[in-house]
Every structure is written in C-alpha cells, then in structure tokens.
Amino acid sequence: MGRPTRTLSTAAVGCLVLTACSGGSDGDGPRSAPPAAVTTTTSTTTAAPPDTETATSEAPTSSPTEAAPATEPTLRVQVVTDGLSLPWDVQLLPDGTALVTERGGRLLALDDALEDPDGAEPREVALDLPELLVGSEAGLMGLAVSPDFEQDRTIFLCHAAQPTGERPDVRVTRWTLDEGVTEAGRDGVVVAGMPLSTGRHAGCRLLFTPEGQLLVGTGDAAEGSNPQDLDSLGGKVLELTPDGSPAAPEGHVEGGDPRILTYGHRNVQGLAVQPGTERLWSVEHGPDVDDEVNILEPGGNYGWDPVPGYDESVPMTHLERFPDAVEAVWSSGAPTHATSGATFLHGEQWGTWDGALAVAELKGSGVTVFTVEGEEIVDAVRPPELDGTYGRLRSLTLDPHGALWVTSSNGEGDVLLRVTARTD
C-alpha cells in the first residue's frame, strides 16, 4: 500500500516565509491580529517571443477555434464580512445563504451571499447547544449541508460536548433549519464518542461524498494509543450514512469499528473529493515536521503511532513499524505549515489551476495550490494575494460559481473572504 512521498522544494512553493504562532507545534492557537503581508516569490510563465529570424509567411497559424493555452489566473479577494471570532467552516445553502460556524459556538447566516456578497451581513442563527465545550482547539467546528437540503433542510455540525453526567467527547449532531434560516432545531446525534482530552487535536472536518455518505475527519486527542486502536474513533476518517450507521456495514478494517474508513491519522483538518474521480483526499497536521496530503484508501493505515506516551518524535508515517502503511502524496518536511481545509478548484476561470487542490494554512498564513496529475502532486504555488495578507487561514469552500470562500483564524477581527479568478 506504500506510495512514494513527494516533498516539493521551498522554491516550488514560492519562498515560503512561516510566521511564529502561539498554540503549539500545530499552529492551531489563536493570534491576536493578522500579521503584516509576507513578501513571497511565485513562479510565473511567460510565453517565449516568436523566432523572427526563422519565421516565414508560410508558418502555420492557430485555427480561430483552437483554444488558447491555459494560463495561471490572477485573483480578486473580497472581504465579505469581518469582525468574526475564529470562524471554523463555511458552507453555502442551495438558496445562496452562507453558513459559518465559529469555534466559540455561534452559527451565522449571510443571506444572498452567493449572488450579493457585497450586501451580505452576518446574523446569528438560534442554536440550542448547552453541552458545547470550548477550549484549546475544540469547540464548534465542522459543518456540512445535506445533499437533500431542499427536501429535508438538514445540516450537520461537529463539536466538542460535555453532556451532564457523561464523559466529554467530540460528536456530530444533525439539525433542521427553519424556512427563514433563523433557528436550527436538533434532530439527533449522528456519532458520539470521538475522544477529547485537553481539546488538542479535536479534528473535526465533515464532507459529503457524491454518493451521499458523510465523512468525518477526527483527531487523536493527543493520546498516543488512539490512532492505531481500532476500537477508538480518534485519529481516523469515518464513513457514515446520514443517520450515523456505517456506510459499509461489513466495515473496511478487519476487527475494527465498522464506521472506520482509514486509521493511523494525527489530526485530520481537510477532506476533498477529486472532480471526475472517486478519489478522496485528506489533509492533516504533522508535529514539528511533515504536514501531509493523503489519498484515502479504504482500510488503509496511515502510520501515525506516537507511543509510548505521546511521543511526537516518531515519523508521521512509521514505515518501520507498519511496512504496508499508506505513504503521503505530499509531505511538508520541516518546518510545518499547519495545513488545514482543502478543496479542488474547478472551472476554466482558474486557468492552469483548474483541477488543482487548494490547501489553507494556519501557521503558513496562506494557501498552497497543488497541481495534481492523477494521484500525484507535480507542482505547488502560493497565490501572493493570500500570502500573509489575512493571517492564519482555516477553511476553503468552492461555491457553485467556482469562487473560493475562505475563513481566517486569528482569534479576533477574523474575516470571511470570497476569491474569484480570471485569466484574461
């Protein structure tokens, strides 16, 4: 199951300058304010001039219908709203309303944000969540919209919880939004019991697959045995039906909880489906080295095993202990970027980035765009428009028009961004 890991050079990602941060090696602690813009160098391609000494009038010319070569896009970054506090996820409803979760527990709605982002103002959606536990990296986190929302008006939230008389955990709950998107009513627990300790490494990314299954990316709760423990939901990617049942009742891992799709993860922060394929990609934090981008193979072990205790000096993918572990498609090496949310870019407006994987970075304070060919990452660039300008970036979501929505994660004065691309 091994796969050669690609670690692109610093030059390939454009002279990355990382900014120190509070909150440990993962870079998930809040920062008091966005940093000043970071000067970076990004690779650009300029067409060579024609060879005028050898060109003749009989030289072939392009057909009027021949498509022009794709070029790297330029970006327009729009601040949709500011003054947010640690927004964790953003998703769009079918009617164009944007929903945003804040780690402190607020669910926000921005009406008509898809068609009129200039006029979108955030308002709070009533959410009765008294058991919410907020601390360290934990709180209200991932958000997913039901594929059948127009019929069932259902959303899914991932959050830390301290129910009365119960052990604290991370769980996914199901909610129904009213017609005006003013209130969310709880409709049950989808999955509970994802481990929680100090709040570190709490996950928790949600994603619906094209087949309607719910993926949940979890953290190991900074407890060394969890990633390899097949009875624990920590350090895993889970695959569920919307009601919480295993998507594959027979399970993917022999002897394991049937909800486990993959295991041996440290702290899954990003999930994405590659367009035109059934390939599922994940992004996770490394310790002091080796943030990872992975392709998820059902039943795969991704090799994180920080025992005895919680030994973060072990490799992210420990091939000596697990020779058949699935190797990363890309690894950051040192230093880490604190990679976070991810999505595939799609649409001709993205030029050479059409089909690329965009990954947000907390500690790196930017976005890296990975050019993907099949199952390989072959290049990486950092858009200068997002490099250091808005501080730590958490979530990326592509809307139906092909615009990229981005949340920052600085602790105060956070923003929701909308990024559009053009190549003309």
Dump the DSSP string for 126-180.
EE--TTB--BTTBSEEEEEE-TTHHHH-EEEEEEEE--TTS--EEEEEEEEE-TT
Tens digit of pLDDT for each residue in 207-233? 999 999 999 999 999 999 999 999 999
For tokens 């970071």, what's the residue?
38
Is the pLDDT at 2 greater than 70, yes or no?
no
Backbone angles phi, psi at 130, to 5 degrees: -65, -25
Q: Is residue 2 part of a domain?
A: no
Q: What percent of the chain shows pLDDT beyond 70?
A: 84
Q: Is residue 158 part of a domain?
A: yes
Q: Is the dihedral of CA 237, 239, 240, 242 positive or negative?
A: positive
Return the CATH number at 348: 2.120.10.30
Q: Is residue 398 part of a domain?
A: yes
Q: Are 284 and 268 in contact (CB under 8 A)?
A: yes
CA atoms of 384 and 366, how far apart (whole Å): 8
Looking at residue 52, the DSSP 8-state letter turns out to be T
Tens digit of pLDDT for each residue in 156-165? 999 999 998 8
Choice among 9-23, 132-146, 153-167, 400-414 with the minimum mean pLDDT: 9-23
Mean pLDDT over each residue of the chain, to the nearest integer: 88
Q: In the sheet where 169-177 sits, what is the strand order? A: 87-92, 98-102, 107-110, 122-127, 183-194, 169-177, 154-161, 140-145
Q: Are 230 and 260 in contact (CB under 8 A)?
A: yes
Length of the chain: 424
Q: Is residue 47 part of a domain?
A: no
Looking at residue 250, the DSSP 8-state letter turns out to be T
Q: In the sheet where 376-381 sits, what is the strand order? A: 339-344, 357-361, 366-373, 376-381
Determine if the peptide bond prior to 308 is cis (ω within 30°). Answer: yes
Q: 389 lies in which domain range?
A: 11-23+70-422
Q: What is the pLDDT of residue 8?
A: 47
Nearest to 403 by CA among 340, 342, 346, 341: 346
Q: Name the residue with higher pLDDT: 20 or 109.
A: 109
Q: What is the pLDDT of residue 424?
A: 82
Tens digit of pLDDT for each residue in 83-108? 999 999 999 999 999 999 999 999 99
Q: Is residue 297 part of a domain?
A: yes
Q: In the sheet where 404-408 sits, what is the strand order? A: 74-84, 414-422, 404-408, 393-398
Tens digit of pLDDT for each residue in 4-58? 444 443 334 433 333 333 334 456 654 433 333 333 333 333 333 333 233 333 3
Q: Is residue 234 part of a domain?
A: yes
The residue type at 3: R
Structurally, how many domains does the chain consist of? Answer: 1
Q: Is residue 193 part of a domain?
A: yes
Is the pLDDT at 194 greater than 70, yes or no?
yes
Give the pLDDT mean for 361-375.
97
pTM of the predicted model, to two decimals?
0.86
Q: Is residue 65 part of a domain?
A: no
Nearest to 135 by CA among 198, 89, 201, 194: 198
